[in-house]
């Protein structure tokens, strides 16, 4: 893995520009400091953004400008809000320009909303990997949710078998444990109960992947150390290195001495991400 960092083979599958405070040059400096060679660069678009907590509009134009400045470092994604009347037209336009994926899909509608399903199927047609954020409504923050729910996700995986989905967020990773419905914390701690839906769904659906980014991904892998290591080894062909932040904690987890084999590290750090992008 040290050679991968030295040679900048690593791909961060979950990055943003101008969020928060990282313009394109500062983001490149951050990637250089980590030894990360490329990053999937995502938008965040919601027509309800002014009504949402913590929303920060991240436009396709910002992503594209960053890509044009550093075309060898960024892989541009665009998740148009599926509720737009011209959503399909917008996506096709940007794919024709060179967009390679659909992300970050983060809207306050259910994940199996018909408008979203229409875009999922288009992504399958265009061979675009689709990275989505799933969040849940909890008692201490009932308004903070996106793309609910986990059962709806299973429906769309069946309905859209040609579409590659990359799962991310607290509403996904909490289900690594069987007792997820009983837990009220955004980032549950402690032992992972066998039989969680994350495990079942990664096993069952060949079109489902997951990124390890943000607090949600890292917490899921570290809350029960032995389970996390076994999980990564078991699903190394379905997991992607990503950060959704500007620190080194996810890379440090993977790089911990003797934690994972080179085969596992290669798959998660770049091979899986590279395999999902259409040339």
Q: What is the pLDDT of residue 6?
A: 59
Q: How confident is the model at residue 20 (pLDDT cuts 50, 70, 90)?
A: confident
pLDDT single digits (tens) 60-75: 999 999 999 999 999 9
248 has a pLDDT exceeding 80? yes
Q: What is the pLDDT of residue 43?
A: 98
Mean pLDDT of 79-91: 97
Q: List the single range of 8-22, 89-103, 202-216, 228-242 with lowest mean pLDDT.
A: 8-22
Cα distances (angstroms) measured from residue 126 to each of 104, 184, 226: 17, 39, 39
Q: What is the pLDDT of residue 7?
A: 62
DSSP 108-167: SS-TT-HHHHHHHHHHHHHT--EEEE----BTTBTT---S--HHHHHHHHHH-TTS-EEE
Domain boundaries, the chain: 2-276
1 has a pLDDT exceeding 60? no
Mean pLDDT of 121-146: 87
Residue 230, C-beta contacts closer than 8 angstroms, at least 6 positions apart:
none
Q: What is the pLDDT of residue 108?
A: 92
Q: What is the pLDDT of residue 184?
A: 81
How high does pLDDT run on average in the chain? 93
141 has a pLDDT exceeding 80? no
Q: How confident is the model at residue 8 (pLDDT cuts 50, 70, 90)?
A: confident
Q: What is the pLDDT of residue 49?
A: 81
Task: Round to whole Å and give the CA distance between 100 and 95.
Answer: 7
pLDDT single digits (tens) 181-221: 888 888 899 999 999 999 999 999 999 999 999 999 999 99
Report CA dihedral (91, 56, 133, 80) to the nearest 10 degrees: -10
Architecture of domain 2-276: Alpha-Beta Barrel (3.20)
Q: How confident is the model at residue 134 (pLDDT cuts 50, 70, 90)?
A: very high
Residue 205, C-beta contacts closer than 8 angstroms, at least 6 positions apart:
154, 157, 158
Q: How confident is the model at residue 2 (pLDDT cuts 50, 70, 90)?
A: low
Q: What is the pLDDT of residue 3?
A: 62
Name the strand (E) or helix (H) holding 40. Answer: strand 36-41
Task: Round to whole Å and give the CA distance between 116 and 83.
Answer: 8
Higher pLDDT, 146 or 116: 116
Q: What is the pLDDT of residue 118?
A: 98
What's the whole-model pTM score? 0.96
């Amino acid at each position: 893995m040290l050679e991968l960092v030295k040679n900048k083979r690593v791909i961060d599958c979950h990055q943003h520009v101008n969020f928060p405070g990282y313009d394109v040059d500062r983001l490149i400096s951050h990637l250089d400091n980590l030894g990360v060679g490329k990053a999937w660069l995502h938008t965040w678009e919601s027509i309800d953004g002014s009504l949402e907590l913590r929303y920060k509009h991240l436009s396709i134009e910002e992503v594209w400008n960053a890509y044009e400045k550093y075309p060898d470092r960024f892989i541009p994604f665009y998740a148009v809000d599926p509720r737009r009347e011209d959503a399909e037209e917008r996506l096709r336009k940007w794919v024709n320009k060179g967009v390679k994926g659909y992300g970050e899909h983060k809207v306050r509608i259910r994940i199996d909303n018909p408008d979203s399903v229409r875009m999922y199927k288009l992504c399958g047609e265009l061979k675009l990997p689709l990275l989505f954020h799933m969040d849940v409504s909890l008692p201490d923050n009932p308004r903070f949710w996106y793309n609910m729910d986990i059962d709806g996700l299973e429906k769309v995986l069946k309905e859209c078998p040609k579409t590659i989905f990359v799962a991310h967020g607290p509403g996904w990773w909490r289900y690594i444990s069987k007792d997820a419905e009983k837990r009220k914390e955004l980032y549950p701690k402690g032992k992972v109960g066998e039989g969680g839906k994350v495990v079942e769904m990664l096993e069952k659906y060949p079109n489902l992947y997951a990124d390890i980014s943000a607090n949600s991904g890292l917490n899921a892998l570290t809350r029960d150390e032995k389970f996390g290591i076994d999980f990564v080894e078991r699903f190394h062909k379905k997991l992607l290195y990503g950060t959704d932040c500007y620190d080194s904690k996810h890379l440090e987890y993977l790089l911990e001495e003797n934690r994972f084999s080179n085969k596992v590290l290669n798959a998660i750090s770049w091979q899986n991400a590279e395999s999902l992008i259409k040339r």
